[in-house]
Amino acid sequence: MLFKQPARTLLRVTLWFIVAVALLLSGPLLTLAFGPVSFGNDWRTASHRSSGMAPDPATTSEAVVQVYASRAFGWRGAFAVHTWLSVKPEGAGHYTRYEVIGWNLRGGRSVVSVSDLRAPDAEWYGAEPRLVRELRGADAEAVIAGLPRAVASYPYPDAYSAWPGPNSNTFLAHLGRQIPELRLNLPSTAIGKDYLPDGHLYARTPSGTGIQVSLFGILGVTAGGDEGFELNVLGLVTGIDLRHPALKLPGIGRVPADP
C-alpha cells in the first residue's frame, strides 16, 4: 500500500502529459492532413514568384514597409511559418528584403539576408504569403530609419535552429522589439518568436504592447494588447485574442483566420 499511491500519482501525471502532448500535436497533424502543406515540391524547383501584394514601385512613390509570413517548406509547414520584412523608401525603384536564411551558414555567410534579388512578396517555396503588417508614408520611413541599427544588433548572425530558435521568426521579433514604430504582432505559428536573446527570461513583446516570459523559447507566457494571451509549450502556442476575437491553436494559427 505504501507504494501504490505514488505509483498512481505518477501514472496519472503521465497520462495527463500524454493527453496534453496529443492535444498540442493535433493542430499540426490536422494541418498536415488538410492544410496548405505540400510534400510534392522539390526545393530546387519550388516557386518564388511574386504574389502581387506589394505596391508597384513604378506607381507608388511613398515609403512602404510590409511584413509577410508563409508556411515553412515541407513538413515544417505543419508547425510553423517563415517571416520576413520588405521595405521601399520614398521614391525608391525597388524593395529590399530583410530575413534570416539558415542555409547561408553552409557557405560561411551570416544568416541575416538583406537583398533585393527576390520579390518582396514572393511565395516561399511555393507557399502563398500572408501580409502580417503594412506601414506607408511617414510611419514607414520611421521604421526604415531604424533598420540599420536593429539589424546590426541582432545577436545571432552566425547561428540558426529551426526549433526552438534562433531562426527567421526570432529575427523578426528582434526587429519588432528594437523598432517600436513597427508595432509588430507576429503569428502564433511563428515558432522562434519567443526565443529571447542572450538567455533573457523576459522581454517586451514584439508589438511593444505587453510582456512575455520565456525559457529558451520552449516554455513561456505572453500577454499584450496586440498579442492577447499566449501559452507556449515546446514552441507550440495556444492562446486567445480578445481585441480581435479569435483562438490561437498550434499549427493552425488564428481561428477564425484574419480576413
**Percent with pLDDT over 90 in the chain:** 76
pLDDT at 255: 93
Phi and psi dihedrals of 56, rounded to 5?
-70, 120
31, pLDDT greater than 70: yes
Give 69-98 pLDDT, tens digit per residue. Answer: 999 998 899 999 999 999 999 999 999 999
Average pLDDT, the chain: 91
Inter-residue contact 73 to 93 (CB < 8 Å): no
Inter-residue contact 96 to 113 (CB < 8 Å): no
**For cell 527570461, what's the residue?**
201
pTM of the shown model: 0.91
pLDDT at 172: 98
Closest CA to 167 of 205, 122, 217: 217
User: Which tops the pLDDT comparison, 3 or 168?
Assistant: 168
Rounded to 10 degrees, what is the CA torsion of 111, 167, 251, 125?
0
Q: Which residues fall within 8 angstroms of residue 220, CB to CB, at 6 or more apart?
A: 194, 212, 213, 214, 231, 232
53, pLDDT greater than 80: yes
